[in-house]
Structure 1
Amino acid sequence: MYDAEGGRDAVFVQIRDDHPSGKFGMLRFGTTSTTTLVVKRTREVMLFERYMEENGTWTTHDFAFNIQ
């Protein structure tokens, strides 16, 4: 999903631009969340979720479980 050590993100896009209606001025457009689901043949499941807070920091949630 992303390279935490290198600080790079393959799916993250962010730009600043004027809102199309002109009423809201300059706004941030781009990726605000990513979700990845991994299912292995061993029935292990991993879910990775990451979303951007209002202040620009990322919050992450990682879950792992087995399918019965």
Structure 2
Amino acid sequence: MKVEFEDEVLDLEGGISVRELLINLDVDSDRYIVLKDRKMADLDCFLDDDSKVLIIKAVVGG
């Protein structure tokens, strides 16, 4: 799968959940939003080898 994260494109194996991906990358799930194939993905979403994943920092405040 292709994973875009912090100006890098990573080519990783699928077969894991979003939660597992974030753990592997040491990314805090409370601070980032994950999109799979341009749609928001929850932590239990399964990622396969053909997935295109974008991890972006969540912006909060006012």
TM-score of the alignment, normalized to the shorter chain, above 0.5: no
TM-score, normalising length from structure 1? 0.26
Higher relative contact order structure (alpha carbons within 8 Å, sequence separation ≥ 6): 2
Q: Which has the larger radius of gyration?
A: 1
Instruction: Compare the two structures and name the one with the higher helix fraction.
Output: 2
Structure showing the higher strand proportion among its residues: 1
